[in-house]
Chains A and B, each alone.
Chain A
């Protein structure tokens, strides 16, 4: 580091020293138009790319002596690289005039790299400079993401705090959500009608949190279904989701003391293609006439096809998704809808464990923080203090 700093100073000093000569040269050359001048110096700085996996350097340059006319006549910068300033430089790229920065990648960590920049007009070298060495390295911490780290830590500690206090017996208030209250009624209705319940876990994979929330709700539904001796049909789009759904339903029957009632053929795989899947679920709705249809998880264009078919077959319909585009259709057709965050809240509500409700409190505090930040941000931006907003400009 010290060495490169020294080098930089040398380059700087040399270029300052050269300045008067360059302008002098310009003066005497005025009467002999074909004489070529010594190229102006380019100050080149090479630095490691911050917050990267490694293997990349940033090369930046400036031409302190160039007036705007000279700059305008330049049309290309040739950039070359070498691991030794005294040996041959290998040309790596050319950039259009006006560039002042190049990001080189694919380098070896821990090695020295030097860069030479040459500016050309149509055929003359106008300016030239060498800089370095730069040593690429990968970082062990992305400083650009500190605000997010703070957010994660803040959220996690608040959530864990509330979970712990819930475990100690602290009771939280949670406001009623219509869609959640409807779940139990819907299962009761199915029992009265002697018809099954259809549970569609959506088109997501098991690694998507919306689908995981759907598992929790399925757990609750299946438990009730087992208690009431009804049947739950779960057609699946993704085989991993199917595997989990089978575990969930089987577990629920076992917990209700009726492991024999579980039928693996009720939690089955249809196909991993959106509309053939939809066609098959439509078929189930029209032929088995479920009393209640649940749509929980990730839904795409099939949402309205499913919901309309469910309406035609006369089922009560409860949907929950965080897919913004599809919520309007569920809202228009279904009887109850869990919108966005409500889906995640529902999984906490329905688990009926106090710790689960603890995180709801943390979510609310998260929103309070957002509200405060938005108001403060608005005031600051309006009064021209931009650095507050800049703090949230995370790459």
Chain B
């Protein structure tokens, strides 16, 4: 089972929401739609579901053109970000609704509803009404309804964004288990890079209605095709700095003048955008890491297991990711240290021209 989008475009009231999207989603693995808010993720999902017609292009399910098929006739499950359930029905009836419409036997419905509720940990809430349940439980009920029917296509539109952070962490870890070895195409939209990386599979990066990159999730993360992907598919975004390459050296006025690292040696002279990941920056010259840049601290953000230190480096806002909890005060001097072998380089058209050799070959 595969879902193919051919030249899908969508303009609404003169505003372009999607522009010439060509994508193929395979069965049995996660297909993540990554992009900022308003990048067109929701519109693309609604077109795939048949809830909105594309202005141009076709949607094919196993080479059958389903572009105009009414959504009732499609084998589909969808989870919205605002935990949509039928308020006037109990959790049990909510989950059973698609099965009743498919006219399954009562016993079969009961078995499958309880099994799915068990898998999502809400089997003790089946006779509750949606409004009597917490946000997390309501979303689990909505997910159970989408999963119970073994549909060909399951769409999840940022399902965790409205949950408390700890609930989100818990449910995110369960997602892989929940969707493992199901004979269905799973498409998951999110703005959070970590969610894409947890779910694995393939990731398509959308920006302002256009497909920017599509590939294996880890691969796309490690080799962002453009500067945009390096910003969208990284939290905090990759640190950037404009530099000139001439006669074997890379120069940033007054800040940096170093020989090119091995993986960038064949770059033609000219202006480039160099990038380095926050977790490849280290504080205060720990060991021989090569390049040293002076910066001043703007603010330190502690996120429990890690600390994000926001710095001003040569007029750029950079972020250092430190493991553990480190209190630093705004205004402090902070020398940032990194190994040039970890540098990314983008040409003047913002396309990736050099990326650090992935550690594990």
B is a partner of A: no
Give B contacts to A, CB under 8 Å. Answer: none
